[in-house]
Amino acid sequence: MTPPRPQERFAKVIVDVPSRTVDKPFDYRVPPELAPDTRVGSMVAVPFGTSRRVGYVVDIVDSTDLAKVSEIDAVLETGPVFDEHVLELCRWIGDYYLTSVGEALRLAVPPGRGRRLVRTYRLAKVPTGDRRAVGAKEAPLDDDETAVVEMLRRTGSSSASAVVSATGASGKRALASLVRGGFVEAFYETSRPTAREATVDYARITCDARTAAGEVCRAPKQGRIVALLAEFDSMPVRTLLAESGASRAVLRALVARGIVEIEAHATPRRVDGSLHGEVATPPKRLTRAQKSALEAIDAAGGRHARFLLDGVTGSGKTEVYIRAVQHQLEAGRGAIILVPEISLTPQAVSRFRERLGEQVAVVHSGLSLGERYDQWMAVRSGTHRVVVGARSAVFAPVADLGIIIVDEEQDSSYKQNSSPRYHARDVAIKRAELCGCPVVLGSATPSLESRHDVKQRTTAHLCLPGRVEGRPMPEVQVVDMREEFAAGNWSIFSEPLQQAMADALDAGEKVILFVNRRGFSSFLLCRECGYVPRCANCAVALVYHDRGRQLRCHHCDFAQDAPEVCPSCGSVYLRHYGVGTQRVEDEVRERHSDVPVVRMDADTTKGRNSHARRLSEFARASGAVLLGTQMVAKGHDFPQVTVVGVVNADTALGLPDFRSAERTFQLLVQVSGRAGRGAAPGRVFVQTYWPDHYAVTAVADGDHEQFYQQEMGIRRQMEYPPFVPLVNIGFSGTDAQAVKLAALAASKLVEDFGSHVATVMGPAPAPLERLAGRHRWHLALKLHDQSAAKEALRGALAKLESHRRRGVTITIDVDPVSML
């Protein structure tokens, strides 16, 4: 045992490496000069093997059992990046989602403050008498080595990628040769944070005003600056120069004379999360169902409890959220409210800010890194006690957390699609458990998992069965598009939808059209030979975009010009099949040329704040049409919308995914709920070629229980979630044979688990067999013994390292929301 030196301390550090074989704390000595800044939650740089890594301090101890202990190199972030609850949460994420704890802890780092330790190269100090000393005229360096040496002499140091970028592919070989010869040395450099505190320069005088005025009495421009600073004590430099009419040179002269000094003041960036336009007026009193739900949530204050707030669209779930949060704030506690889509966030934030004031922070990827960092730090400092945001907001550093709300809990965007593949809803439930506070899951179409939890009595069921103010639910009409076609209507709009749109727009009301596809149409097809242009990288049909007549892949963004004739047979009979947002927009504009049309899809909302701008444009307009993809389906509250049209209800039903019926049902209910939220009743038109599908008939009948019972029966029979947990193992790479061999090797390993532990499905090519040039296979496991299966999976994954070295990426998705 290493005896402690005077006041010597040791840190237990989780090192951020993806390997699960080293997923444990390692002991490091804390140097005396770093001791004041090293605490539980600190992000540090540490030596690890032959490299240098980022790590997180999870404990501070007085001794270690190790004979030799390395020292922490540096503390990378002032102040802890997580507290004990978030540390335990990340440990749970590592265990449950089969990832490393270090990778999970990265989720808790303030936005833009993560670090990478980059292997960097510089010229070495070579003994003077060495003939091959770098740069000596007689040194036998080839042209490539000379180019690398000259570059390093200019730059001082560079990464390997920078060397290759500047000198060409041969630079990589030359760099390795120079390192072997001892002429170039490698070291590790910490990357700079990509987000920093925003500052504004302020000026102030350094002595009393009379003395300062006497010093500049013969310099009128300097005198005007001194006079302003004497009056206001300090001023932003930009304002000072504008009001005094002086130049920066005049100010610099005052600074040089010691009369004025410049100080940088932290100034957080302002985030405008509001939606200008229609904002619901708070009700004077709650409905009986709202009051009952709120009382149940309030009764759980200060202890953990789980609630499913199951309310029809327009039933006032948001009002229950706001009042529940208000009550927690009055008790001195904070709150986190999760919303699934960036497009939903502006309206949600505006409502919470109107009612709760400026203490509401917003966190989502639509903000700049600097803005997210400022919001995060405002929460950590306690100036903002409420966080509204998308998935990542579940890790916000809210002190004394009093409640977590997950709106639209069924939404698939809560699942992260990169490692660690966590589900924000389930992480929220676990965090609430660790913090001892209630969690409220809200939805008009609860996930089957949440419905199952109600049946299992792990979640309390709170119902809001009717709309506020007694407003009726919209009338839903299913339109059989086969009959429309047989009657000679070849338009993308059925006769009933066309008439309803015309009536609503003539009355100055609004219409929402839901199209579950971007682009002008889904694909091109040759009517003579059947040829369909496909993406060379992804093996999926290219989507036709009328703007610029382009074919584009919506998986890898590959694009090419649409052909005039069939590339396969030369036929001119190429036809557009399917319906995209562009085509719907064009038809609406053709039929209603004087009506404002707002389109929301991934093509029109790429710009900063574009979601909020488009929603605001629709909110302000009178007699307008909002059309788009899933962005228009959920969460929006526009009282003047009286007609909703679902242009193609069948898009998701044919997908090879066991959740396809559930997803279709949820989308249809959600988009239907946008109609009739004001004084005028709403009408919904669902256009479909499968009018008898149980997901469609349940929406038409307004009978949610009918859908849940049928879908639950199918899931139980097929042993799918929520009855049997699922893990999807993905394999991808550029070498098709290597990917297949990795999948087969994994299959042999998991088959040894035994059928009582897991049922193996596959391996097989993924439904999207190739994406972005990478071949894809997958292997699914139905877990009958979760603990045993996950433990066995950890061991099996360690045995697949040889396949990773051959360029195969292996991913683990626990509780997948998509099997594509």
Percent of the chain having pLDDT more than 90? 54
pLDDT of residue 208: 82
pLDDT of residue 554: 66
Residue 54: closest CA among 187, 190, 158: 190
pLDDT of residue 350: 79
Q: Which residues in 129-163 are b (16+ Cβ under 10 Å) and which e?
A: eeeeebeeeebebeebbebbbebbeeeebbebebb
Average pLDDT rounded to a whole number, residues 668-696: 92
pLDDT higher than 70, residue 418: yes
pLDDT of residue 793: 93
Q: What is the 3-state secondary structure (H, E, C) of 502-521?
A: HHHHHCCCEEEEECCCCCCE
Domain 117-190 has CATH 1.10.101: no
Answer whether 196's CB lies under 8 Å from 161's CB. Answer: no
pLDDT higher than 80, residue 484: yes
pLDDT of residue 649: 87
Q: Which CATH number fits domain 288-464: 3.40.50.300, 3.90.550.10, 3.30.70.20, 3.90.1300.10?
A: 3.40.50.300
Distance, CA of 375 to CA of 381 (rounded, Å): 10
- Per domain, the residue ranges of the chain are 9-108, 117-190, 199-266, 288-464, 475-521+578-715, 726-814
475-521+578-715 maps to which CATH number?
3.40.50.300
Average pLDDT rounded to a whole number, residues 166-190: 87
pLDDT higher than 90, residue 26: yes
9-108 maps to which CATH number?
3.40.1440.60
Domain 726-814 has CATH 3.30.70.600: yes
pLDDT band of residue 109 (cuts 50, 70, 90) is very high
Q: Which two tokens stand for residue 548?
A: 């610029």
CB atoms under 10 Å from CB of 770, counted, come to: 22
Same fold, 117-190 and 726-814: no
pLDDT of residue 490: 84
pLDDT of residue 137: 41
pLDDT tens-place string over residues 43-64 = 999 999 888 899 999 999 999 9
Residue 797: closest CA among 137, 112, 100: 100
Average pLDDT rounded to a whole number, residues 451-479: 94
pLDDT tens-place string over residues 388-405 = 999 999 999 999 999 999
pLDDT higher than 90, residue 160: no
pLDDT higher than 60, residue 127: no
Average pLDDT rounded to a whole number, residues 718-735: 95
In 171-214 the beta strands, taken as DSSP E runs, fall at 184-190, 199-205
pLDDT higher than 70, residue 577: no
Answer whether 474's CB lies under 8 Å from 644's CB. Answer: yes
Distance, CA of 418 to CA of 776 (rounded, Å): 15
